[in-house]
Amino acid sequence: MATKEEILEQLKDGVINYKEDQVKEAAQGSLDAGFVPLEMIMDGLAAGMEVVGQLYERHEYFVPEVLMCADALYAGLAILRPHVPKAAGVNAQVVIGSIQGDVHDIGKNLVKMMFDVAGWDVHDLGRDVPLEKFVEEQMRTDSEVVAMSAMMTTTMLGMKKVIKMIKEKNPNVAIMLGGAPVTKDVANLFGADGYAESAGNAVAEGIRMIARLREMQKK
């Protein structure tokens, strides 16, 4: 039987070299062997996609290859995701989406998954989300947290507009930003309440923001 390290390598390699069948087999194999599905997703599939990003930046991969890598990642996610244990419901809601003009949604979907398994009610608007839609969905669901993802320096600017629009309508909302071009400084500059570098610490940041919001409401 394959070891955990071997399976992680097969998942990673399968994403990098867009071998969808290999990814599916490794994902199923990891479940059969009882390995932790979330670890397989983050240290196998997502780690593979990180390498794909580097290949793309070095112009070794182009859009078609990247799309096939994304397909391989999603094929693995479809098998593993249903087996990630979900925490009991917590009293927290988040609206999430990739900002207008941005079709990148792999990172956003990982963040979404982390909130979901942590027991949050997640309202996913998808990708290329019109700016007003974030405002409307926050009001419709009365969510305390709005999380936006941007992967391009151009689309990132839309987040600043959304923050302004939401805060004007409802100051009691905490807004979190993320995505490759976004830094803590950018988030502060745009007037966001939180920032997380990766899906792994998004939920902790969300909890911190809600605690602060509720503390402020008490005053």
Report 140-199 residues binding ligand B12 (CB under 6 A): 147-149, 151-154, 176-181, 196, 198-199
- Judged by CB under 6 A, the residue of 79, 106, 175, 192 near ligand B12 is 106
C-alpha–C-alpha distance, residues 124 and 194, integer Å: 18
Q: Considering only residues 62-81, where is the footprint of ligand B12 by CB under 6 A?
A: 63, 66-67, 70
CB 149 within 8 A of CB 158: no
| Choice between 1 and 80, CB closer to ligand B12 | 80
Residue 53 engages ligand B12 in binding (rule: CB under 6 A): yes
202 binds ligand B12 (CB under 6 A): yes
Q: Alpha-carbon distance 151 to 187, whole Å?
A: 14
What is the total count of residues that contact ligand B12 (CB under 6 A)?
A: 38
Sequence-distant (6+) residues with CB within 8 A of 193 are 174, 175, 176, 209, 212, 213
Is residue 48 a contact point for ligand B12 (CB under 6 A)? no
Cα separation, 129 vs 126, whole angstroms: 7
Which of 29, 56, 83, 139 is in the footprint of ligand B12 by CB under 6 A?
56
Residue 200, both tokens: 């792994």
Q: How far apart are CA 97 and CA 50, in angstroms?
A: 20
Half-sphere exposure for 64 (CA within 13 Å, toward CB): 0
Nearer to ligand B12, 24 or 208 (CB): 208
Residues lying near ligand B12 in the complex (CB under 6 A) are found at 46, 49-50, 52-53, 56-57, 63, 66-67, 70, 101-108, 110-111, 147-149, 151-154, 176-181, 196, 198-199, 202
